[in-house]
Amino acid sequence: MRILAIGDVVGRPGRVALARALPTLREELSPSLVVVNGENAAGGLGITRKVADEMLGLGADLLTTGNHVWAEREARDFVDAYPNILIPANLSPVGNPGHRVFVRDNVAVFQLVGRLFMNPLVDDPLATADRIVESLSAKVILVDFHAEATSEKGALAHHLDGRVSAVFGTHTHVQTSDERVLHGGTGFISDIGMTGSWDGVIGVRTDEVLRTFRTGFGGRAKPARGNPVLEGVVFDIDGKTGKCLSIERIRRFI
């Protein structure tokens, strides 16, 4: 079984890169499931129904989100109607709308948000992961860990080693080179990267990022333009055992 996970889509440039690259990737790789992180897909921050429909129409089977999932207010009104859009399972409060686990056939996916340097309203990701994994009967289980610190991502992967098929990091928009299969058979990478403009700073306009660092006055930064790239990873997984057989990074300039 092959799973394609695509890094954080940043604004319209990211959606354009997805539109140009995903059909070809689907043809080349024949993935059983395509997971796309879409929390920054609407104008660089948040997700809307129109943007979600666009990415699903391009060939994404499942959209994950992250700590910015509620940046667009309309997200609260439509996510309940989309079983293939995931809200981080440990993002408090629990009563907020949205689906926390995606299950199709023998595959389950859930998402967690990290605690370090992130939203304070976050439950313990380790305990949340334990509870969800114990409740699942699917043999293939994937975890999108939307977190800032590579140490926290690695700790979760080792905590779940042998119990899930893969743990892949999102959020930092910087693809790491630490992909590996852990001793228990869990595929892991700290961050799968981003899909957006390579010419900006993690997909954002350079001038706006520099202004923020120089003045301390932040705001809703606009996505950068030019030199679009799609980044992600491909997991090959044994569907009978749930063990990860291999993990490979991908980067496509469009």
Residues annotated as catalytic (active site), given as ranges: 68
Strand partners, 5: 35, 233
Given a contact cutoff of 8 angstroms between Cβ atoms, the answer to whether 67 and 37 are in contact is no
Distance, in Å, from the CA atom of 146 to the CA atom of 5, rounded to the nearest integer, reads: 13
Given a contact cutoff of 8 angstroms between Cβ atoms, the answer to whether 183 and 213 are in contact is no
Percentages helix, strand, coil for the chain, rounded to the nearest 5? 25, 30, 45
Could you tell me which of 25, 99, 105, 93 has the C-alpha nearest to residue 63? Answer: 99
- Whose tokens are 């394609």? That residue is 4
User: What pairing do the DSSP bridges indicate for beta strands 2-6 and 228-237?
Assistant: antiparallel
